[in-house]
Chain A
Amino acid sequence: MRGFATFHPFVLFLYYAMVLIITMLMLHPVILVLSLFGSLLFFLTIAPLRQFLLDLGFYFLVFLLVAITNPLFVHKGETILFFLNDDPVTLEAIVYGFVIATMLVAVIFWSKSFSEILTTDKFLYVFGKVVPKSALVLSMAFQFIPLFKRQIKKVHEAQKTLGLYTSNSITDRILGGIRVFNSILTWSLESSIHRADAMKARGYGLPKRSNFSLYKFEKRDLGMIVALFVMFFVIIFAYIKQYFAFNYYPAISDFTDTKQYFFYFLFVFMLTILPFMMEMKENLLWTFLKRKISASPIRNKKNVS
């Protein structure tokens, strides 16, 4: 059912690079909302619903924290709402805080789907030949947190079977968590060194070393690359032409420009919704095929006999 993930790793990497550049470069609220929307929808299709909701809840808190922090430290802006300890808290700073928080959460969700889609082996496949050392370091950095989480869960469970964590006291549980965290920290440092040594022992990065991988560059990959570049260049063109310009200080711009250059925002929408559409297309195809199977004469004959 992984529609988008079946593309060639290089295409996938290109896609993520483009989307992240656009999300981080352009501070237009519409673009950021589109990017967040696309990343959330795509993550919803590839992650279990429970995990999606948990992540959504957690990153909503992060969102609020970032959004609230900005007006406390930035006092720019025209519309003063009130004075906090003699410093003005402005509407513009609050809005900008929300915009930055949107960007942050969008980037985080893109990265989450990135680590699901562009797995370590794919990443090493793309960059292993060109820059072996940096590729190894990067791929290890990418999977650091997921690995960390998994290991913490393991140790946690082991400790539970040993009879620890039986106290109901929150303080004790927090202290226990810190102890586990401590041990995992040293473990992760050690394991990363071990892994690098193991890779070296197997001749990773040597010129004549070959390895097997099942990625074929097909026609649809080429088509995808062309489509991606067309979209990307249109968006970058609009950015350079200042069509996406949006001011927050001293006063927030209005959306007249957005209406005027609606056409260019359509491209951003297309780019950010693309992975979700691919998944959806694949899902629809699958249901259609399944229906075909159940309607086929062979199956019916079986039912009769």
Chain B
Amino acid sequence: MRKDLLLVAVIVLIGVILFKGTKIQSVEEYYLTHIDDITRESETIKISIRVDAVLEHLDKIPESLRSEKYIPKDGIILEETEYVLRPGDTVFDVLLRATRHHKIPFDYQGSEENRFGSVYIKGINHLYEYDCGPLSGWMYTVNGEFPDEGVSKYKLEDGDVIAIQYTCDLGRDLGHPYDEKEVNP
């Protein structure tokens, strides 16, 4: 019987840990976020989310996504918006804050779930990787440059302009010189 009691204790312990480790929030609670007010002294960055590349390939994406709701006609999901830069912020922190503020659905793979050790953007506003063919997905630029770093590794500086864009062709349709880099690294 002693062994049985031990078994029950272990099960209860696991149950308690599971229960303590879960946090359940209603939708309203989750989106109730505080955005820092922009003052004259605060450092700021600008962020925008666009899907222009998809507009040229509307025939390639699944039928269920061909709607104004998911792919706006002007290609703008989030127009360039200014946010306060908190110290140590990465692109991911700002993106998460912005999408949460504007209630844009944002799905990502956490940095501990892949071997690159950085967050991977899977989908924004129901538009996911591979939705526009095998070479499609989300990319980002900072001040017009494509950093060779994961989205949660790039530390931002004052005045940076971030653009999150959807590509249908490995970034070539966004002006990323992918092929040249492969040839002359």
Chain A positions within 8 Å of B, measured between CB atoms, are 75-76, 78, 80-86, 88, 169-172, 245, 247, 249-251, 253
**Which of B17-25, B37-45, B52-60, B83-91 lies on the face that meets chain A?**
B17-25
> Which chain B residues border A80 with CB–CB below 8 Å?
27, 105
* 7 additional A-B residue pairs with CB within 8 Å, beyond A76-B123, A171-B7, A247-B63: A78-B105, A80-B27, A82-B27, A83-B30, A86-B30, A171-B4, A245-B63
> Which chain B residues border A83 with CB–CB below 8 Å?
23-27, 29-30
> 10 shortest A-B CB distances, which residue pairs?
A250-B126, A171-B3, A247-B64, A83-B25, A83-B30, A75-B107, A171-B7, A169-B4, A80-B27, A85-B23
- What's the Cα separation between A169 and B6 when bound, in Å? 11
Q: Given A247-B62, A253-B64, A84–B7 Cβ distance below 8 Å?
A: no
> Which chain B residues border A247 with CB–CB below 8 Å?
62-64
Chain A minimum-CB-distance residue to B65? A250
> Which chain B residues border A76 with CB–CB below 8 Å?
107, 123, 126, 128
Answer yes or no: B70 CB below 8 A from chain A CBs.
Answer: yes
* Cβ of A249 to closest chain B Cβ, rounded Å: 7
Answer yes or no: B16 CB below 8 A from chain A CBs.
Answer: no
Contact A172 B126 (CB under 8 A): no
Chain A minimum-CB-distance residue to B62? A247
> Which chain A residues border B21 with CB–CB below 8 Å?
85
Chain A minimum-CB-distance residue to B103? A80
- What interface size band does chain B fall in? 20 to 34
Contact B23 A86 (CB under 8 A): yes
> Which chain A residues border B62 with CB–CB below 8 Å?
247
A-B contact pairs, 14 of them (CB 8 A): A81-B27, A82-B25, A83-B23, A83-B24, A83-B27, A85-B21, A88-B105, A169-B4, A170-B4, A171-B6, A172-B3, A247-B63, A249-B64, A253-B64
- What's the Cα separation between A81 and B25 when bound, in Å? 9
> Which chain A residues border B26 with CB–CB below 8 Å?
82-83
- What's the Cα separation between A170 and B11 when bound, in Å? 13
- What's the Cα separation between A88 and B107 when bound, in Å? 9
* Cβ of A86 to closest chain B Cβ, rounded Å: 7
- What's the Cα separation between A245 and B126 when bound, in Å? 19
Answer yes or no: B183 CB below 8 A from chain A CBs.
Answer: no
- What's the Cα separation between A261 and B29 when bound, in Å? 43
Chain B positions within 8 Å of A, measured between CB atoms, are 1, 3-4, 6-7, 21-27, 29-30, 62-65, 70, 105, 107, 123, 126, 128
B6, B24, B126: the one contacting A82 at CB < 8 Å is B24
- What's the Cα separation between A169 and B2 when bound, in Å? 9
* Cβ of A64 to closest chain B Cβ, rounded Å: 17
> Which chain B residues border A171 with CB–CB below 8 Å?
3-4, 6-7
Q: Given A170-B4, A171-B7, A249–B27 Cβ distance below 8 Å?
A: no
Best-buried of B4, B7, B29, B128 by chain A (most CB within 10 Å) = B4
- What's the Cα separation between A75 and B105 when bound, in Å? 9
- What's the Cα separation between A86 and B62 when bound, in Å? 28
- What's the Cα separation between A82 and B31 when bound, in Å? 11
- What's the Cα separation between A78 and B3 when bound, in Å? 48
Contact A170 B24 (CB under 8 A): no
> Which chain A residues border B70 with CB–CB below 8 Å?
250
- What's the Cα separation between A119 and B101 when bound, in Å? 61
- What's the Cα separation between A111 and B22 when bound, in Å? 38
> Which chain A residues border B65 with CB–CB below 8 Å?
250
Contact B126 A78 (CB under 8 A): yes
- What's the Cα separation between A172 and B6 when bound, in Å? 12
- What's the Cα separation between A245 and B64 when bound, in Å? 11
Contact A170 B7 (CB under 8 A): yes
- What's the Cα separation between A80 and B69 when bound, in Å? 16
> Which chain B residues border A251 with CB–CB below 8 Å?
64
Q: Given A83-B27, A88-B105, A250–B64 Cβ distance below 8 Å?
A: yes
A82, A86, A169, A245: the one contacting B1 at CB < 8 Å is A169
